[in-house]
Every structure is written in structure tokens, then in C-alpha cells.
Amino acid sequence: MGTELSKAVVDGVLTGGVYALMAAGLTLIFGVMEIINIAQGIFVVLAAYLSYVLQVHLGIDPFIGLLITMPLMFGVGVLIEWGFVRRLKEQNKSALSILVTFAVAIVIEGILTQLFSADLRIIKAWYVDKSLHVLGFYLPYIYLLGFVLAVVLLAALYLFLYRSRSGKSIRASVQNRTGAELIGININRVSAITFGIGAAVTAAGGMIFGATNSFNPNSGYDLISRLLVIVVLGGLGSIGGALVAAVAALVIEDVTAVLWSPIWASTMFFAVLVVVLLVRPNGLFGQTAVRAQ
């Protein structure tokens, strides 16, 4: 039991990192634009299919393939922001944007179903089935690599937001949209970049997801529900909060699977949200007013 438990904790931390990567885009987009991007779940699945296609048809390793899928997903994000989100009228924007991104998700799901059918797929590579044996744990390479990738990309995202000029514009827009506009920041450009980055980061998360889980076009629903729980737990708009929340929620899920039953593990994932909201209605790291205007 003891080893099983500590293994569950380690697994939870490793998968939590990947979930944080998938949730980072969602919380970033919310932070800048106050838009809940329901399409984030299907973005993960789309990215997984892209990696799958590159690997199966062109023989490109999924990690190398990120050099192709991440820019591609960046383009998808920019396109969706430009094509649909930007065109919404200011009035009712936050409500309509949920419906728009949901509609986009349904269209992408339909296209994927048409192209790949509803059969379950999984990304295979030599490191997917192999494990590293340390301290009595068998750690699958893919989880380790995924966790490292998540840490590297989240760190890169952090550096980008805090050290680059574009990053500064994004943070300025998070703090005060009107003020940012007044000092000459092009909000449309920032929004497009944010959506693009949100989707690009998801591309990496999607590849790891596709290598560690079998997926089909329908997987987007389960993903978006989990990602929403994570970003609310962490406080909408907080990337660090999302990381902590993802790790905590995944550890709790894995531990529940060991201590109680795997059937109830995913229910527990959501129950955490209910409990936290009873105590802190704005999430673990949420502020009362995310944006003071």
C-alpha cells in the first residue's frame, strides 16, 4: 500500500505538470481577454492528432514534431481569434464568446470525426512503453519527458511574459485593458498573439496527452471539463495557480484511485472543486477582482 500510494503521488505530480501545460493556455486567454475558450479541450485533441499524423505518415518523432505542430497550432489560435472572437460585439462579449468557442469546438470535432473516425488512437514511440527504474519506482519515460517539457515550456512562457516587450503588453492588457489601449498597445494584436500562444502551448500538452492516453474526437469534452476545474481552482487568469491546482487535483485523483476505487477517482477530481469553492469562492489564488477597471 505504501509504495502504491507514493507511486500514485509521483504519477499525480508528473501528469499534473502536463495538465498544467494544457490549462496554461486557457487561463492565459482568460486573463488577457476575459474569454473562456471552450475550444481548449478540442485544441488538445487536434494537437494530438497532428502529432499522430506526423509520426505515422511522415515518421517524425512526436517531440521533434512539436517544431511543426506548435507553430501550426499558433496559427489555428490566431485564426480563431481573428475569425470569430474579435468579431463579437462588446456587449455580451463574454457570454457570446463561450458559445462561439463551443461552436468552433463542435466544428473541429466534426472535422476530426470525418477524417479519423471515432476509433481510439494513441501516439507510439520507443519511449512510450519503456520505464526508468529509480528508488523502487517504475517511471515511464514519456511521463518524465512530458513533465520536463511542461516545466521548460511553462518557464519559457513565464520568461516571455515577464522579460519580453510583447509579454509586457500582454501583462499590461491583463491589468487594465483600457489603460493599455491608451498607452498605445494594440489590443487586437495582443489578443491574437495570446490566443496563438494559448493554442501553441496546448500543442505540446496535446502531444503528451496523446502518447499517454488513447484518444478520439470525443475526448475534448472530458478534457475541457478537467481544464476548467483546474483554472477555476487555481484562480482564473493565474498560470502559477493553474500549475499548483493541476498537480494537486491529479494527485488527489490518483490517490483516490488507490485508496478507494478507480471508478470514483474522476468524480473526486471534481469534488475537490466543490470543496474548495465552499471555502474560497474565487479559487485558491484568485483575487476578488481580477481586473480593476
Partner 1 sequence: MASSAVPADPLSGRGLSVARRVLLAALVLFAVVFPFVFTNPATTSIAMFTLLYVGASSAWNMFSGFTGYMALGNAVFYGSGAYAFANLALHLHLTGGAGVFALVPVAGVIAGLVALPVGWLALRTRRHTFVVITIAIFFIFQLLAYNLHGLTNGSSGMSLPIPPWDAQTYNTYFYLAALVVAVVAVTAAWLVRRSSFGLELLAIRDDEERALGLGVRTTKVKLATFVLTGFLTGMCGAVYAYYLGSIYPPFAFEAIFDVTIALMAFFGGLGTISGPVIGALILEPVQQYITLRFTAGGFSLIAFGVLFLLVIRFMPEGIVPSLAGLLRRWLRARAEAGASPQSSSSPPGAAVSAAGITGAVRP
Residues at the contact surface with partner 1, assessed by CB under 8 A = 30, 34, 36, 84, 87-89, 91-92, 94-96, 98-100, 102-107, 109-115, 117, 217, 221-222, 224-225, 228-229, 231-232, 236, 263-264, 266-267, 270-271, 273-274, 277-278, 281-283, 286
Of the candidates 15, 19, 29, 20, which has an alpha carbon nearest to the alpha carbon of residue 199?
Answer: 29
Residue 115 or 152 with smaller CB distance to partner 1: 115
Give min distance, CB of 167 to partner 1, in A: 23
Residue 117 or 186 with smaller CB distance to partner 1: 117
Residue 168 or 222 with smaller CB distance to partner 1: 222
Give min distance, CB of 206 to partner 1, in A: 19
Q: What are phi and psi of 276, to 5 degrees?
A: -65, -40
What is the helix (H) or strand (E) element at residue 138, kind and residue range?
strand 137-140
Give min distance, CB of 281 to partner 1, in A: 4
Residue 117 or 164 with smaller CB distance to partner 1: 117
* Spatial separation of the C-alpha atoms in residues 100 and 80, rounded to whole Å: 10
Q: Residue 254 in 3-state DSSP?
A: helix
What does the DSSP 8-state code read for residue 85?
Answer: I
Residue 113 or 164 with smaller CB distance to partner 1: 113
Give min distance, CB of 238 to partner 1, in A: 13
Residue 210 or 286 with smaller CB distance to partner 1: 286
Q: What is the DSSP string of 22-67?
A: HHHHHHHHHHHH----TTHHHHHHHHHHHHHHHHHHH---HHHHHH
Give min distance, CB of 19 to partner 1, in A: 15
* Spatial separation of the C-alpha atoms in residues 145 and 127, rounded to whole Å: 9
Of the candidates 27, 23, 29, which has an alpha carbon nearest to the alpha carbon of residue 209?
Answer: 23
Cα dihedral across residues 277, 283, 288, 292: positive or negative? negative
Interhelix angle 141-163/165-175, nearest 10 degrees = 80
Residue 98 or 187 with smaller CB distance to partner 1: 98
Beta strands in 50-126 (DSSP E): none
Beta bridge partners, 131, equal 140
Give min distance, CB of 137 to partner 1, in A: 29
